[in-house]
């Protein structure tokens, strides 16, 4: 077993689980277009194409200690959550990126076919997700709001 990670402060001993967040990529990481990217002065670096170079960060907490840390690249930059047994990461708009518990990228199997906004909310009563997306208007049609519910069992 690995030794616990150093902590500045104290974790409650009954806090158990894995904290997953989206943040800047590691220094020297590379974005999809190959431009150098990473954490610079506390802010996310942008590639020449303007895309953010980010990463998922997961810390397992058990018995008052941070016992493991994982990180993996992701172009998502707005939200990450656990749904139907998978880690899903969202950019501001689009389809989620799907990851395993160990942050390995996987093919998205969520049943969504339209882009959604990153601000998905969990329905406490059902465990499902409430989601929305805004479709841009055209000369022939005005913009419209799409609202839906994503069942907790949908993978």
* Distance separating alpha carbons of residues 51 and 142, to the nearest angstrom: 28
Residue 127 has pLDDT above 90, yes or no: no
Report the pLDDT value the prediction gives residue 1, as an integer from 0 to 100: 52
- What pLDDT score does 42 carry? 34
> pLDDT tens digits, residue range 4-61?
788 899 988 899 999 999 988 764 443 333 333 333 333 334 443 445 568 999 999 9
Give the pLDDT of residue 143: 87
Residue 34 DSSP code: -
Higher pLDDT, 113 or 96: 96
Listed in sequence order, the residues at least 6 apart from 95 whose beta carbon sits closer than 8 Å to its beta carbon are 108, 110, 112, 115, 116
Q: Are 37 and 30 in contact (CB under 8 A)?
A: yes
DSSP 75-120: S--SEEEEETTEEEEE-SEEPPEEE-TT--EE---S---S-EES--
Q: Mark residue 17 as left, alpha or beta (left: phi above 0; alpha: psi -120 to 50; beta: remaining).
A: left
Query: How much is the pLDDT for 13?
Result: 87
Please answer whether residues 52 and 21 qualify as being in contact, where contact means their C-beta atoms are separated by less than 8 angstroms: no
pLDDT at 40: 32
Residue 57 near residue 72 (C-beta atoms within 8 A): no
Q: Identify the sign of the CA torsion 104, 20, 129, 136.
A: negative
- Tally of CB atoms within 10 A around 29: 17
79-100 per-position pLDDT tens digit: 998 888 889 999 888 888 999 9
pLDDT of 43 reads: 37
């Amino acid at each position: 077993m690995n030794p616990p990670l150093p902590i500045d402060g104290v974790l409650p001993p009954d806090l158990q689980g894995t904290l997953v967040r989206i943040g800047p990529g590691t220094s020297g990481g590379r974005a999809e277009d190959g431009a150098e990217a990473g954490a610079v002065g506390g802010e996310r670096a942008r590639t020449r194409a303007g895309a953010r170079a980010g990463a998922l960060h997961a810390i397992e907490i058990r018995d008052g200690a941070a016992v493991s840390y994982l990180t993996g690249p992701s172009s998502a930059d707005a939200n990450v959550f656990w749904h139907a047994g998978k880690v899903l990461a969202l950019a501001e708009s689009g389809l989620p990126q799907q990851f395993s518990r160990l942050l390995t990228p996987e093919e998205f199997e969520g049943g969504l076919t339209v882009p959604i906004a990153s601000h998905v909310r969990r329905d406490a009563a059902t465990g499902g997700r409430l989601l929305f997306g805004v479709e841009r208007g055209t000369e022939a049609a005005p913009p419209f709001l799409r609202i839906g519910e994503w069942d907790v069992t949908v993978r």
